[in-house]
Structure 1
Amino acid sequence: MLSPSLEDYLEEIYRLSLTAGTVRVTDISRKLRVSSPSVTKALRKLITYGYITHQKYGLISVTDKGKQKGSFLIERNQTVQEFLMLIRANCDISAEAESIEHYLSNTTIDQFKYLGMFMQNNPDIYKRYLEFIELPEVEQSDIDE
């Protein structure tokens, strides 16, 4: 099982491989705002786990195993971001998703996905939810009256 930090590295390597085609240590270092030695250390571990290949001072390639895991990591991040948008979380969605995604079980992620699909298929219920969360908070003194 990968640590949250290694998941972040693999996710970014996979993202870069999809968009740029080629991936280098400096690309990862810039994107994740970490030092090149930190990237190199993470790459060694990802190579050991069979997720990537890397020639010294050369390009980084994602293995089939790495592509499968990378795809999963991107989908998980997207699901958490969509859930946070769905519930209208008032935060930096990207940062919040990044903070929590590593600590949620796959079944919880699946439930986020199902809730999103349910709300898409039931816009009347989603509208009621939105109306509910925008109600002014009731003060205890209002209840006591």
Structure 2
Amino acid sequence: MTFQELSTNSQDYLKVLWDLREWSDKAIQPTDLARKTGMKPSTVSGAMARLTTQGLVTHAPYGDIILTPLGEQYALKMVRRHRLLETFLVEKLGYRWDEVHKEADQLEHAASDLMIERIDESLGRPTKDPHGDAIPGPNGEMEEDSSILLTDAPEGVKVRIERVSDEDPKLLRFLQQQGLSINGSATIGKFTPYSDIVTLVLPSGAKVALGASAARRIRVTRLNDEGGTALS
């Protein structure tokens, strides 16, 4: 099956599977996909059966869902479209970073390969989108991601904000209002026992408290004392 022959729903499922894999190391279950898409488990199971028949995923009933090499190739094609469109909307049309996710969801299915290539060229072939996510190249090549979830960063460490999930516009607006942005720095505040709150201390001294669900949508890298990326 060629990419062009895939239904929009199948394209969306492949992109979501890639997104789930990017943000978590745990195996992907049908329940994860149902939660992410808002679909009924039975609907997800039917979709996975079709993708399995098409050779795009491997999935036994109640088992893990894994992208095949072809499925990964098509997923990266969708991810490239989505992230280039988000970047185009921000840089060329003046959208805010909290406004572009749903717009790109609609446009990515309609845009031709030629349009995506022209957009990439007009933007100077960017490697990151407005949320810090790596943009796959034409052949699926991507920069290596060494970031960690904010929830995994130890207390007292200085970090740089590398990526923020684009799915929650309210969180994106909140972070911007608090002065947090991609490539911005902060220090992990003191942990409170039995609390799911992560506190970030900004260079200005301002403190931003984030719940665990919000903190899990942010990826960071550890900085050394000079502001460069630490090796460990």
Report the TM-score when normalising by structure 2: 0.49
Query: What is the number of residues matched between the two proteins?
Result: 119
Aligned counterpart in structure 2 of residue 52 of structure 1, from 43, 52, 57:
57
How far off is 1:114 after superposition? 1.0
Q: Which moved more, 1:16-25 or 1:45-54?
A: 16-25
The answer as to whether partners of 1:52 and 1:61 remain within 8 angstroms in 2 is: yes
The reply on whether 1:89 has 2:95 as its aligned counterpart is yes
Extract unaligned runs of 5+ from structure 2: 127-232
Query: What is the alpha-carbon root mean square deviation over aligned residues?
Result: 1.8
Aligned identity (percent) is 27
Please say which structure displays the higher CA radius of gyration. 1
Higher fraction of helix: 1
The answer as to whether partners of 1:51 and 1:64 remain within 8 angstroms in 2 is: yes
Matches of 2:75 and 2:7 in 1, distance apart? Answer: 14
Counterparts in 2 of 1:52-91, with a 5 A limit?
A: 52-86=57-91, 87-89=93-95
**Residue of structure 2 in register with 1:33 after alignment:** 38
**Residue of structure 2 in register with 1:114 after alignment:** 121
**Residue of structure 2 in register with 1:18 after alignment:** 22
User: Tell me, what secondary structure is at the counterpart of 2:62?
Assistant: coil
**Residue of structure 2 in register with 1:8 after alignment:** 12
How far off is 1:80 after superposition? 0.6
Extract unaligned runs of 5+ from structure 1: 120-145
How far off is 1:18 after superposition? 3.1
**Residue of structure 2 in register with 1:143 after alignment:** none
Matches of 2:86 and 2:69 in 1, distance apart? Answer: 26
How far off is 1:48 after superposition? 1.3
Matches of 1:63 and 1:118 in 2, distance apart? Answer: 27
User: Structure 1 residues 116, 26: closer, same or farther in 2, change over 3 A?
Assistant: same
Matches of 2:48 and 2:13 in 1, distance apart? Answer: 8
Report the TM-score when normalising by structure 1: 0.76
